[in-house]
Amino acid sequence: MISAMTISSAMFSALFSSSGSTGSVDFSFLTKSSTSGTASTANIGSVKSALVSAEKNKAKQLAQVAKDPQIQKDLARYEKVVKSARTIDDVLNDPVARTVLMTANGLKADINNIALAKKGMTSDPTDAKSVAAKMSSINGAWLGFARAYNLSEYGLDALSPRQDGAAGRWRIAFEREGEPIEAMLEIRKVRGGGYQAQVDGVTVPVTVNGSSVSLNLLWRDSADELRTSSLAGALGKDGLTGTLTNDGETSKSDWSAAPYFKDAIKNVSQNYIAEKRLDMLDQQMPGLGSAVLFKDMAKDLEDAVDILGSPLGREIITTAFNIPKQIAVQSMSAQVKAITQRMDPAKLQNGHFVDQIAQRYLIMLNGGSGGLTA
């Protein structure tokens, strides 16, 4: 990273000045050899070629990573651990499982901080004072994890479905007045061998007899009349399936319910493979993986605060615009000013502008501007 390089504000202004309506960036001076005689390690041609190749061959690269024996071994270990775990501690105390889970969710920088991981991952996503919320100012992925998995409410269900016959959390799906309906159905065993059920947190009558399940749902129709839907079904290898009848009607329709978090392990595996692909790209050209990921997520950075709150956004923008990393110790208003003086965050909604930023980042990171002085 070229942290010692200094570039004048005039040069930045010229570099990112608009050209026509596209707001293009002039990289021509970056392709010139250093006056010191040292050849540049990156130029606009090699950077563009690397980005185009990475994006064009994404599917092939993901398949290649997925076949890697070590990756397969890591994922197999993760699946074994998470399926047998009783608490999140069991997952995080296993080095491989912890690495897979945290890497897949943008938390690999803190893989060795187990105490932080336990508190952050079990944070209540609605609590502004939680560890995840406090850490979000440094890495928004902490709060993202708490919201996506909500371990404080669902426990390990969100990592690996905990089904016990009909008991468990299900994603129930059916049609009502021609409209598709999806909801969380939770069936719990209670003392005495009975069952209780809730649909999106609302208690509903339920009867479970072996593999047979019946539910009654109250709802209001388009005329604001109170109605009852009776659902009768059975538990099979793919979940619950059956027929639905509304009161006052003779026709029936189908309903089904699969484990609510049935894709939990698959999603973590895919995200892990995606992250390892980015690592592979970084080996081809330092920062290439980060640049590719930035192009995918830049549209989510709507202002300078978003940029500063995203480790990746902060790294890309500060490097591309040669903003000293030391701004991190300054006030938020000073950091925002440092960003907005050099670029308009609103332009990150423009794919062409984002591509130019990614190119600029790679050139700066790889010494393509060698010999440049203020």
DSSP 202-218: EEE-EEEETTEEEEEEE
Greatest CA separation found in the chain? 88
* Structural domain includes residue 310: yes
Q: What is the pLDDT of residue 368?
A: 61
Whether the per-residue pLDDT at 111 is higher than 50: the answer is: yes
| Alpha helices (H) along the chain | 9-15, 44-56, 58-66, 69-84, 88-92, 95-104, 114-121, 131-135, 141-149, 151-154, 264-284, 288-297, 304-309, 311-320, 332-340, 351-365
Measured over the CA atoms of residue 222, residue 185, residue 131 and residue 306, the dihedral's sign is negative
Distance CA(161)–CA(267), nearest Å, equals 13
Residue with tokens 């493979």: 273
Q: Which residue has the higher pLDDT, 69 or 308?
A: 69
**Domain span including residue 345:** 9-42+285-365
Q: Which of 11-25, 143-157, 244-258 has the lowest mean pLDDT?
A: 11-25
> Confidence class of residue 99 from pLDDT cuts 50, 70 and 90?
very high
Distance CA(132)–CA(127), nearest Å, equals 9
Q: What is the pLDDT of residue 345?
A: 94
Whether the per-residue pLDDT at 373 is higher than 60: the answer is: no
* Cα 339 from chain centroid (whole Å): 24
CB 231 within 8 A of CB 255: yes
Q: Which of 38-52, 70-84, 237-251 has the lowest mean pLDDT?
A: 38-52
Measured over the CA atoms of residue 320, residue 8, residue 31 and residue 366, the dihedral's sign is negative
* Cα 270 from chain centroid (whole Å): 11
Q: Are residues 173 and 154 in the same domain?
A: no
> Confidence class of residue 366 from pLDDT cuts 50, 70 and 90?
confident
Question: How many other β-carbons are positioned within 10 Å of the β-carbon of residue 72?
Answer: 13
Whether the per-residue pLDDT at 6 is higher than 80: the answer is: no
Q: Are residues 172 and 255 in the same domain?
A: yes
CB 47 within 8 A of CB 362: yes
Q: Are residues 245 and 289 in the same domain?
A: no
C-alpha separations of 189 from 164, 186, 207 in Å: 9, 10, 11
* Structural domain includes residue 321: yes
Q: Which residue has the higher pLDDT, 29 or 313?
A: 313
* Structural domain includes residue 215: yes
Could you tell me the pTM of the whole model? Answer: 0.78
Q: Are residues 20 and 76 in the same domain?
A: no
Distance CA(195)–CA(168), nearest Å, equals 11
* pLDDT tens, residue by residue, 225-271: 999 999 999 999 989 999 999 998 889 999 999 999 999 999 999 99
Q: Are residues 152 and 177 in the same domain?
A: no
Nearest to 15 by CA among 4, 23, 27, 5: 27
Q: What is the pLDDT of residue 309?
A: 82
* Cα 168 from chain centroid (whole Å): 25
Residue 347: strand, helix, or coil: helix
Token readout for 366 is 């790889």
Q: What is the pLDDT of residue 31?
A: 34
Distance CA(119)–CA(124), nearest Å, equals 10
Q: Which of 36-45, 100-109, 269-278 has the lowest mean pLDDT?
A: 36-45
* pLDDT tens, residue by residue, 184-217: 999 999 988 899 999 999 999 999 999 999 999 9
Determine if residue 197 is left, alpha or beta; phi over 0 gives left, psi from -120 to 50 gives alpha, anything else beta: beta
Q: What is the pLDDT of residue 138?
A: 80
The mean per-residue pLDDT over the stretch 147-153 comes to 94
Q: What is the pLDDT of residue 3?
A: 34
> Confidence class of residue 41 from pLDDT cuts 50, 70 and 90?
low
The strand pairing partners of 230, in sequence order, are 216, 245
* Structural domain includes residue 374: no
Supply the mean pLDDT for the chain: 86
Pairing of strands 239-246, 253-259: antiparallel
Count how many domains the chain has: 3
* Structural domain includes residue 188: yes
* Cα 363 from chain centroid (whole Å): 27
* Structural domain includes residue 320: yes
Whether the per-residue pLDDT at 8 is higher than 90: the answer is: no
Q: Are residues 348 and 293 in the same domain?
A: yes
> Confidence class of residue 139 from pLDDT cuts 50, 70 and 90?
confident
Whether the per-residue pLDDT at 7 is higher than 90: the answer is: no
Token readout for 217 is 């749902």
Distance CA(51)–CA(289), nearest Å, equals 9
Q: Are residues 348 and 300 in the same domain?
A: yes
Q: Are residues 255 and 173 in the same domain?
A: yes
* Cα 307 from chain centroid (whole Å): 16
Q: Which of 62-76, 147-161, 291-305, 321-335 has the lowest mean pLDDT?
A: 321-335
Task: Please report, for the domain that includes residue 237, its CATH number.
Answer: 2.40.128
The mean per-residue pLDDT over the stretch 275-298 comes to 93
Q: Are residues 205 and 126 in the same domain?
A: no
